[in-house]
Amino acid sequence: MPVRERFQNELNDLQNKLLKLGNFSLDALEKSIEALETKNIDLALKVMEDDNEADLLEEEINDLAILLIATQQPVAIDLRRIIVAIKIASDIERIADFAVNIAKSTIRIGNEPLIKPIEHIKKMYEINRIMLNQALEAFNEDDIAKAKEVAEMDDQVDDLYGQTIKELLQKNQENPERISQITQLSFICRYLERAADHTTNIAEHVFYLVKGKRFNLNS
Amino acid sequence: MGTASISTEKVFDVNDLNLWYGDHLALKSINFPIYTNEVTAIIGPSGCGKSTFIKTLNLMINMIPNVKMSGEINYKGQNLLNEKTDLVELRKNVGMVFQKGNPFPQSIFDNIAYGPRIHGTKRKKDLDEIVEKSLIDVALWDEVKDRLNAPALGLSGGQQQRLCIARAMATKPDVLLMDEPTSALDPISTLKIEELILELKEKYTIVIVTHNMQQAARVSDKTAFFLMGELIELNSTAKIFSRPKDQRTEDYITGRFG
């Protein structure tokens, strides 16, 4: 007879809910960038409307985690997995909020033509997507090698962020009348840079889960 | 832990139950519904009345001298206190498992076959079937199938307790009462019994008295907290252990007293 089969099933359930939240945030981020690129205000509005779902999922994860701690007396890796799930849920939910912020900026830019192609922003998004996917895999598979790679990719996002902000500031000098759009694009860069930091946090949590020690991968 | 088995049918409905040991009022106006296919755990400090209460459900309490009761213990709509109750029949339907495995000094087979035999099952083939099914249900079959004629007292403590659960189940009860069924077992045997309880609730209604409130948290759907003969709080286990309503429940489960 497998011992603590139900508890194990509930831990799996917790893990699956977290992956679901992760996929939700990935999707929201993708839609927000698509809305920006195609000036699709309806899509931007949809990203904002749907965000409630991420909040509810995070609450569900927290409630289940609390219930498991209250009723199952988890210890060792079980306990770390539950604590880490709460923290990762918070990081992922924050990423969904960044998607909402990007959608809001998209709406503020409105139909005004973009001052420059958003290649760098798309590139930052693309790396974010790969990082988050991989961080979720690392969590799902207790794989610290994958988690480490996530942290390394964050450096690329930081570099792109530096370059893009520099370019935008230059554009601002050339076209001071476009300051409103340039500000919004700078915000979007900042949101993507922050999203990558939160994904790096997830990678750190995976280290803690597997090794039981804290690592700072963000520095 | 209670995965939401939503049950609305009551097996027991206890109303305004008072119980005296001589002059001492040991249970005070207990109102306690017990629903089918749920695990109901009863917790509380020593002397709170939890064992007394569980023993009222199959009237084992009547074996203690000078016990008086008032109120109603309705079992499937029949008040055990008013009507002439057939105790043999009642205890066939409401089985009981005790603190320590107490197999009869007989073979494994005869322990399980004991109940069905006294209730009239004589054919070897029928008994074989009951013994096998009961042992499978408690996940003991694979461990003992090659030595059914060996003495039951040769089994380990955890196996003896599972044997006693199988013995209680052999008469096809619909309720299993468990009074501290794991307090004499090691942690892994305890977890096995708990896993078994979670499986058995598909078919049986289970009431378990436990000193170990973590055990109540792990296995039950509902938890009842007794204190000095009163039922202080009866609620879903998830609520009792994450946000109890009564301050006394909170103080007890957080280890502030008791």
Q: Do the beta carbons of residue A207 and residue A139 sit within 8 Å?
A: no
Compute the distance between CA of residue A136 and CA of residue A124 in angstroms, rounded to an integer.
18
Nearest CA in chain B to A65: B242
Helix A5-38 / helix B187-200 crossing angle, nearest 10 deg: 70
The pLDDT of residue B1 is: 44
Task: From residue B233, give the alpha-carbon distance in Å to each of A63, A103, A209, B44.
Answer: 22, 49, 37, 11
The pLDDT of residue A31 is: 97
Q: Evaluate if residue B64 carries a pLDDT over 70.
A: yes
The pLDDT of residue A160 is: 96
Q: Which of A101, A84, A93 minimizes the C-alpha distance to A212?
A: A84
Task: Choose the weakest-confidence range: A27-36, B131-140, B142-151.
Answer: B131-140
The pLDDT of residue A6 is: 86
* Residue found by looking up tokens 């189940």 in the block: B169
Distance to chain B for A94, nearest Cα, Å: 26
The pLDDT of residue A138 is: 96
Q: Tokens at residue B107, please?
A: 């073979």
Spell out the alpha helix ranges (H) of chain B. Answer: 50-56, 87-93, 108-118, 124-137, 141-144, 157-169, 187-200, 213-219, 237-242, 247-253
B236-255: per-residue pLDDT in tens? 999 999 999 999 999 999 88
Q: Up-side HSE of residue A185: CA atoms within 13 Å toward CB?
A: 25
The pLDDT of residue B3 is: 46
The pLDDT of residue B2 is: 42
Give residues with Cβ within 8 angstroms of A97, minimum separation 6: A51, A54
Distance to chain B for A75, nearest Cα, Å: 13
Which residues sit opposite B79 in a β-bridge? Answer: B74
Cβ–Cβ gap B238/A7 under 8 Å: no
Distance to chain B for A96, nearest Cα, Å: 29
B48-60: per-residue pLDDT in tens? 999 999 999 999 9
Distance to chain B for A149, nearest Cα, Å: 38
The pLDDT of residue B99 is: 85
Query: Which chain B positions have a beta carbon within 8 Å of A67's beta carbon?
Result: 1, 238, 242
User: What is the three-class DSSP state of B85?
Assistant: coil
Query: Which chain B positions have a beta carbon within 8 Å of A7's beta carbon?
Result: 1, 218
Q: Which of B195, B175, B149 minimizes the C-alpha distance to B74?
A: B175
Query: Which chain B positions have a beta carbon within 8 Å of A66's beta carbon?
Result: 242
Q: Tokens at residue B142, please?
A: 């694979």
Compute the distance between CA of residue A37 and CA of residue B45 in angstroms, rounded to an integer.
66
A134-147: per-residue pLDDT in tens? 999 999 999 999 99
SS (H, E, C) chain A: CCCCHHHHHHHHHHHHHHHHHHHHHHHHHHHHHHHHHHCCHHHHHHHHHHHHHHHHHHHHHHHHHHHHHHHHCCCHHHHHHHHHHHHHHHHHHHHHHHHHHHHHHHHHHCCCCCCCCCHHHHHHHHHHHHHHHHHHHHHHHCCHHHHHHHHHHHHHHHHHHHHHHHHHHHHHHHCHHHHHHHHHHHHHHHHHHHHHHHHHHHHHHHHHHHHCCCCCCCC
Phi-psi group of B33: left, alpha or beta (phi > 0 → left; psi -120 to 50 → alpha; rest → beta): beta
Compute the distance between CA of residue B240 and CA of residue B217 in angstroms, rounded to an integer.
9
State the DSSP code for B223: E
The pLDDT of residue A218 is: 67
Q: Evaluate if residue B4 carries a pLDDT over 60.
A: no
Phi, psi of B228 (to 5 degrees): 45, 50
pTM: 0.82
Q: Evaluate if residue B257 carries a pLDDT over 90.
A: no
CA B38, B44, B49, B54: dihedral to nearest 10 degrees?
A: 20
Q: Do the beta carbons of residue A32 and residue B198 sit within 8 Å?
A: no
- Chain A, 70 to 109: residues with Cβ < 8 Å from chain B are 70-73
Residue A75: exposed, middle, or buried by beta-carbon count in 10 A (0-12, 13-18, 19+)?
Answer: exposed
Compute the distance between CA of residue A102 and CA of residue A189 in angstroms, rounded to an integer.
9
Q: pLDDT 10s per residue in chain A (219 long)?
A: 567 888 999 999 999 999 999 999 999 999 999 999 999 999 999 999 999 999 999 999 999 999 999 999 999 999 999 999 999 999 999 999 999 999 999 999 998 888 888 999 999 999 999 999 999 999 999 999 999 999 999 999 999 999 999 999 999 999 989 999 999 999 999 999 999 999 999 999 999 999 998 888 766
Q: Within an 8 Å CB–CB cutoff, is residue A3 touching chain B?
A: yes
Render the burial of B192-201: b for 16+ CB within 10 Å, e for the rest: bbbbbbbbbb
Q: Which of B113, B128, B119 minimizes the C-alpha distance to B92?
A: B119
Q: Tokens at residue B11, please?
A: 């097996």
Compute the distance between CA of residue B195 and CA of residue B158 in angstroms, rounded to an integer.
13
A4-41: per-residue pLDDT in tens? 888 999 999 999 999 999 999 999 999 999 999 999 99
